[in-house]
Amino acid sequence: MGRPWMYLLVLVPVVTDVTETGGWPARPREWFTEVSVGLLIAVLVRRILRERQALEALARVDALTGLGNRRAFEEALAEECARARRLPHPLTLVNVDLDHFKRVNDGAGHEAGDRVLRQLADAVRQVVRVNFDRGFRLGGDEFALLLPGSSLAQAEAVLARIRQACAQADPLWRDGPLGLSAGVAELGDRESARDFMRRADEAMYRQKTARRG
C-alpha cells in the first residue's frame, strides 16, 4: 500500500467490536467479516489519498504547457537553493521571456499564441535533463529553468539548443517575429532565493532592452 500504517486500518472493525462488546469475535466467520471490512476501509483510504495527491500535483502544473507553474517554481527554487548549498554544487537559473509575443497574438490569433507557448515548452522538455533539470511557465510568456549542477556556460548551451528546437518547430520562430530573451544567473554563496531570482530577471530585461534598441 506504500504506507505501513495503513495495514493497521484492517484492525479498526475488530477493535471497534471489542470496544463495543467487550470481547473478541468468537467465530472464524466473524473474524473474516471484521477483517474484510477493515481491508475495504484501507482500500478506500488509499484511494482517497491517491486522489488527493493527484489534485495537489495538478495544482502545480500549468494547464496549457504541462510545465510546472509559478507555485511549483517557487517551491522548487527554495528546495534547489538549499540543496545546492548542502552538497555543495552550482545551481543556475534561467529566466526566459518571448520577444514579440503580443505581435503574434494580435496578428495570428490566440490559437497561434498558445501553439508557440506549447512549442517552447516542448523544446524545454526535449533539451533539459530528465528528472534533474526543471522547466516552468511562470505566467503569460514568461518561463524559467532550474539547472542544478550547471555552470553559466552550460546554461547558455541549453538555451542555444532550446532556440534551435523552437526554430525547427515553426516558421514564426525561424523566420520571425518570435525570439527569446533570457537572463542567466548562478547562485551566490550567501544569496537568498529572492535575490537569485531578481538577478536572473534583471539579466533577462537587459537583454530584452538591448534587442529593442
Choose the catalytic residue: 62, 97, 133, 141.
141
Tally of CB atoms within 10 A around 13:
19
Residues contacting residue 105 through CB under 8 Å, at least 6 positions apart: 112, 113
What DSSP assignment string belongs to 172-200?
HHHTSS-EEEEEEEE--TT--HHHHHHHH
Beta-sheet strands, E only, within 81-190: 91-99, 134-139, 142-148, 179-186
How far is it, in rounded angstroms, from Cα 127 to Cα 86? Answer: 27
Chain centroid, CA 207 distance in Å? 26
- CB contact burial 67-79 (16+ within 10 A = b; e otherwise): bbbeebbbebbee
Selection from 159, 177, 205, 180 nearest residue 112 by Cα: 177
How far is it, in rounded angstroms, from Cα 60 to Cα 69? Answer: 5
Residues contacting residue 56 through CB under 8 Å, at least 6 positions apart: none
Annotation says 99 is catalytic:
no
Catalytic residue positions?
Answer: 141
